[in-house]
Chains A and B, each alone.
Chain A
């Protein structure tokens, strides 16, 4: 009867692992790009650490970071669509 509760708990746990991995990956990609940007261009004022710090702060408010929440949203939509297609179509 409460199978969906169990699925939600396990799903939440697994998706949280995916979310953490993905947000680390995305941040790491951004940091590397900022490092390359600084090392290649000479016109950036200020020290390297400051430049990267500012870039990551801008990244924190970006749409790209918010899209990672899709890790939680997409499976829920998928499950609802699958329930509809399997049982009511």
Chain B
């Protein structure tokens, strides 16, 4: 990890340099801004009411009036995709932040304390990793109840082992570093050393992980709603829109599946590229 602390202006120059030399990251960052904008202001951007049905106009291919066509109830697919951005991003953001917060603290303490706690948590993580994770998420949503909050919890839960392992390993290599000793010598309690000294130092490395995980979380959540767990039908959500359109694909109504699928793909692509770019900025040595 970058042990050299860059000054503010040095960091700014470095970011500008990376963005210039890597235009893809710039495009991804712009894409992320657009996504956030759509998520925040979707209700004022949509050309049609995303849940209002208009049966005479059902299953219309894309046209000037309906950019992405209409679905089996005549609802405007483009409006539904815009509306769904908020829900999909919200699920992914909350799931990833939840599992980051819990995982970093647990992993941090394991790496710092070691011993019995570390062994038991390690074993728990091994058990979690022995599950096919998507199946575990399915079972969790089914067990906790078929609601959106539980998609968040399930997605957070299956991300947890990665954060625990990551934080544990990163903290473990630093626990005997000089500046940690210094903090202890200054009278910091162990709790404060982990939370205020070690974890902030690990944060840059974890930021990359977070960005890469966001894409995975979105795919997971969409997969869960595709098989009928979590989000319920009239709600616009990308996974469920694909699931509803699946029935019409064998009769050639491609736009019901293709546009929500494209939205999913572009969003995941955007976060993955951003993660790669972030890695270049924060950790020049891991560049591929």
Please determine whether chains A and B interact with each other in the same assembly.
no
Could you list which residues of chain B lie within 8 angstroms of chain A, going by C-beta atoms? none
Could you list which residues of chain A lie within 8 angstroms of chain B, going by C-beta atoms? none
